[in-house]
Structure 1
Amino acid sequence: MNRERLPWDDLKLLLAADRAGSLNALADLLAMDPTTASRRMKALEKSVGLSLFVRAHGALRLTGEGLQLLDHARAMEDAERAFRISVEALKDTPGGVVRISAPPTIARFVIAPGIGALQATAPNIAIEMDTEPANVRLENWETDIAVRLGAPQNVTDMLLVRRVGVAPYAVFEPRQARPELGWVTYSKRFSHVPEAAYVEEALAGAEPVLRSNDPMAMALAVAAGAGRAVLPVELGKSVAGIVQSGAPVLKREIWVLRHPETGETSAVRTAYEWLVGLFDAHS
């Protein structure tokens, strides 16, 4: 017997021949002419080194050896059918854990409130959300979907990116602001981001009252009268005791990234489409 793997289409010949009863009927089942069907039968017999078909007086049946192999072909047909059913089931009801990395404000005010909508349509998907302000790396498989503020830099061809919205930032102050109010701002490792750079310019070398990597902590400090801060408008409006001072001072683009390999699984693709829909609803 040829040690190379037999193509599944060749093994289907056994099933079709058992059901056909004649060469002409077999050709019809296989959507080919009788000569081609006969040639396929001979090629299969040569490949396995066994006589599998009996052709006599226009009839077609399997030999004893062919009948012994028929059960294996039926089992493979059943397995293929089960495989296709499972594929369709996964498409209809995707499941699994999807890891999402997002800035804290977006995680709190966009993603977390939308989890219920995802569960209503895809109850078998669980979200694992990382709100660490520092960017995780999709290239190292640290997450399946990443939300970024600002256009991604040095994006490789391996990543799929999409701009999904804009986040406005404004100066927020305590409701009863003092004239000598100082600044609450971001940790020095975030000094490169636009909202931190705005405050650093206003500080002109002076030290702020507080530095933090958590915008919510900054907002609560402002509410306590510690100082003013540049905050996402969505966050600032949600904290009691602080007010927006003037129009937004800057806007940051929101981008969603996913890895093309994990990003094409049904669960991740479903979560990605849900996430994009959340930003569409907030725009």
Structure 2
Amino acid sequence: MNWDHFRFLLALARAESLSGAARRLGVDQTTVARRLAAAEAALGHAVFDRADGRFVPTIRGVDVLNRAADMEIAVEDACYPDTPESPQGAVRVTAVPWLIQRVLVPNYDAFGTVYPGIALSLLPDSQNLSVTRREADIALRFARPDGDSGALSRRVGRVDFVPCRSAESPAETLPWIAYDAAAGHLPQAAWIDAQADPAPGGLKVADLETAIAAVQAGIGRTMLPAPVAAGLPGIAADGPPVLEREIWMLIHARSRTRPSVSAVADWLISALRRGNFA
């Protein structure tokens, strides 16, 4: 079994679909399916189960994928020696979209200047990409993690949420903009539900950027991260913060000693501090 089979397995694990893996690799779905069949035949067991249209690693598949990810890192290190004096290589960071767009991207210039050898990928995703499955090297999350058993975690910051409204509209005239059921598990969604009019109707959103646009348009009021709201034109805080969430960083146990990963982790912490999320 050659390395190329492992490359296809990793792409499928990260995309969870034949079409997604095909896009990542620049091939068609038939090629991905053929490589998967060849890899599983060579290994003598299934690497994935098919569940609800997704490819989910089996118990034995997780071990194969971890070894494949180690091989991937070894190949990268061979091509780009990753040393404390000159960190190099690819590092993938995942977080919710608004944290990447409003905190990390504005702070990238300083990082790119100091670490020109690191190819940093920022992966916005609200569904918690897995560090254990090597879908990302580092993850930032808003709750203490309990699922990524192969990852090391540490609390690196906090964020206050504050009720917000359009600066031009009195709060008492505005309805609450609630979250759609897809985001109903969020603490800020539950807080809004406790305040909102239980009658049907009204606007619901599923992400922070839509909520911001709705508040700026004067449609209603909602909960926003205080440091973000403070820098937004046309938005005013409607009282003090009423909710706090912790920010946790996850790093795969086998990646923590890579100088490039350590450099990115340090930069993430400094970016959070500069954004008043510490």
TMscore range, shorter length: 0.5 to 0.7
With normalisation by structure 2, the TM-score equals 0.65
Residue deviations 1:102-148 (CA, integer Å, cap 9, x gap)? 12232123211221121222111121111122211112211110000
- 2:85 corresponds to 1:100: no
Residue deviations 1:55-113 (CA, integer Å, cap 9, x gap)? xxxxxxxxxxxxxxxxxxxxxxxxxxxx9xx86x7331111221111122321232112
Letter in 1 for 2:204: R
Residue aligning to 2:73:
none
Match of 1:215 among 208, 211, 221: 208
Question: Contact conserved, 2:132 with 2:148, CA < 8 A, in 1?
Answer: no
Residue aligning to 1:202:
195
The list of structure 1 runs, each at least 4 consecutive aligned residues, that deviate by more than 4 angstroms after superposition, is: none
Q: Aligned with 2:132: secondary structure?
A: coil
CA distance in 1, matches of 2:250, 2:127: 15
Question: Contact conserved, 1:164 with 1:280, CA < 8 A, in 2?
Answer: no
Letter in 2 for 1:171: P
Question: Contact conserved, 2:155 with 2:246, CA < 8 A, in 1?
Answer: yes
Letter in 1 for 2:125: E
* 173 and 271 in structure 1: CA distance in 2 versus 1, 3 angstrom threshold: same
Q: Aligned with 2:127: secondary structure?
A: coil
Q: Percent identity?
A: 29
Please list, as runs of the form range in 1=range in 2, the aligned pairs for 1:216-235 lying within 5 A after superposition. Answer: 216-235=209-228
Residue aligning to 1:121:
114
Residue aligning to 1:253:
246
Question: Contact conserved, 2:167 with 2:234, CA < 8 A, in 1?
Answer: yes
Residue aligning to 1:271:
264
CA distance in 2, matches of 1:208, 1:134: 27
Residue aligning to 1:176:
168
- 2:158 corresponds to 1:166: yes
CA distance in 1, matches of 2:145, 2:137: 16
Residue deviations 1:216-271 (CA, integer Å, cap 9, x gap)? 22111111111001011122222211100110011111111110113332211211
- 2:162 corresponds to 1:142: no
With normalisation by structure 1, the TM-score equals 0.64
CA distance in 2, matches of 1:164, 1:123: 25
Q: Aligned with 2:83: secondary structure?
A: helix
- 2:154 corresponds to 1:192: no
Number of residue-to-residue matches in the alignment: 198
Q: Aligned with 2:100: secondary structure?
A: helix
Q: Which residues of structure 1 form unaligned runs of 5+?
A: 1-82
Which has the larger displacement, 209-218 or 140-149?
A: 209-218
RMSD of Structure 2 on Structure 1 (CA): 2.3
* 155 and 140 in structure 1: CA distance in 2 versus 1, 3 angstrom threshold: closer
